[in-house]
Amino acid sequence: MSVSDRAKEIPSFIVMDVLERAQELAASGREIIHLEIGEPDFDTPEVIVEAAIRAMADGHTHYTHSLGIRELREAVADHYALRYGAAVDPARVLVTAGTSSAMLLLFSALLESGQEIVIPDPHYACYDNFIAFVGGVPIRVPVRAEEGFQFRPDEISAAISPNTKGIFINSPSNPTGQVMPPDILEAIADMAPGRQGGPYVISDEIYHGLVYEGREHSILEYTDNAFVLDGFSKRYAMCGWRLGYLIAPPHYVRPLQKMHQNFAICAPSVSQWAGVAALRHAWPDVERMRCVYDTRRQRLIQGLKDLGFDIPVSPKGAFYVFTSCAHLDPDDYKLAFDILEETGVAVAPGRDFGPGGYGFLRFSYCNSMENIEQALGRLGDYLARCYPGAAR
């Protein structure tokens, strides 16, 4: 039986390969410390769980409107007004089962075969796979360590062609943890007029609320003619609830809605009511978690530097540290798996995030301070044993 080319050719999500190998080792009795996966280690805040329980008790367990329940779409609009001063019509909000579902719908609506999306390199591992899966072409523009892993507007402009349909941004960024400053966001908004003849800005804002230095800005502060991806997994510790949303230009809403009706019907009903409580009532919990992440961030940065890792620019958001490992082994894939096998510490190889990630490792601080300290100790022993000339 023949498997489709697109199914055969899509690359694996390497972080998941690391996680699954780590799980195999754990099943054999090894003690594994997970620093590879970007999943909050906190339980979902109680106020959100209680809202879900009430929703089930009240019978909110049926299909919802394909765009999402009105209460959640209004809560999203209110959130953007209060936090960013951006006016969002709830009719522009499509609620989905996570931002990955939203991304697949977005690119299916936006791209014809061969059309292009400009993306940063390095970038979240699945961006270019989503684009290519629907026949699009990812155009990678480097974001360099020595420039703070920031997009350069002149290089974006040079990458835009008549075939360009979008400029994809992610701030705070996975894997680098960097936050885009207002001047760069404004410059990108100016070069992406959308319906007026140029590309759209596509802004992945999933790590908003998890910033430790300065503050994040939404692209909707600079233009209405953009797509925004966001959700509840990261800042609200709701990965398993599978809840996200897409804010789209008005003329894209109905095509997106029709695809959602056909492919998913609607997002999970109980999760949607939980999302209302998250946006309305859980910000004190978000702040509590953010402060804990910040403490971990500072300790992991210092601990890795003490071990001789080069961190060109400290991350300011999300929950990752992206560090060069070229002084140990330029083959970050081999090194990540060797660290896992030898130490039981799971980390992500940089190549999962595009060619710009070669020679880097990504460490997540979605783990307890105790486990971070233990992981640093194991890494120190490993470096002293296997790379004595490189270890400090």
116-121 vs 164-170, strand pairing mode: parallel
Return the domain boundaries, the chain: 5-43+284-386, 46-281
**Domain range 5-43+284-386, its CATH number among 3.20.20.70, 2.40.30.10, 3.90.1150.10, 3.90.1580.10:** 3.90.1150.10
What is the per-residue pLDDT across 160-170, written as a single tens digit (0 to 9) for each? 999 999 999 99
CB 105 within 8 A of CB 229: no
- Which of 213, 202, 146, 139 shows the shortest CA–CA distance to 177? 213
Rounded to the nearest integer, the mean pLDDT of the chain is 95
Name the strands in the sheet holding 137-142, side by side, starting at the edge strand that comes first in the sequence: 93-96, 244-247, 226-231, 200-204, 164-170, 116-121, 137-142
CB 120 within 8 A of CB 143: yes
Checking if the pLDDT of 371 tops 80, the result is: yes
The pLDDT assigned to 195 comes to: 60
What is the per-residue pLDDT across 59-86, written as a single tens digit (0 to 9) for each? 999 999 999 999 999 999 999 999 999 9
CB 129 within 8 A of CB 137: no
Cis geometry, peptide bond prior to residue 355 (ω within 30 degrees of 0) = no
Q: Which of left, alpha, beta for 338 (phi over 0: left; psi -120 to 50: alpha)?
A: alpha
The token duo for 310 is 């080069």
What is the per-residue pLDDT across 96-114, written as a single tens digit (0 to 9) for each? 999 999 999 999 999 999 9
Residue range 316-324: mean pLDDT, rounded: 97
- pTM across the whole model: 0.94
Please spell the DSSP secondary structure of 86-107, one letter per residue: ----GGGEEEESSHHHHHHHHH
Checking if the pLDDT of 281 tops 70, the result is: yes
CA dihedral of 94, 98, 99, 104, whole degrees rounded to 10: -80
Please name the CATH architecture into which domain 46-281 falls.
3-Layer(aba) Sandwich (3.40)
The answer to whether domain 5-43+284-386 and domain 46-281 are alike in fold is: no
What are the φ/ψ torsions at residue 16 (nearest 5 degrees)? -70, -35
The pLDDT assigned to 176 comes to: 97
Checking if the pLDDT of 194 tops 70, the result is: no
The token duo for 66 is 């394909």
What is the per-residue pLDDT across 203-232, written as a single tens digit (0 to 9) for each? 999 999 999 999 999 999 999 989 999 999
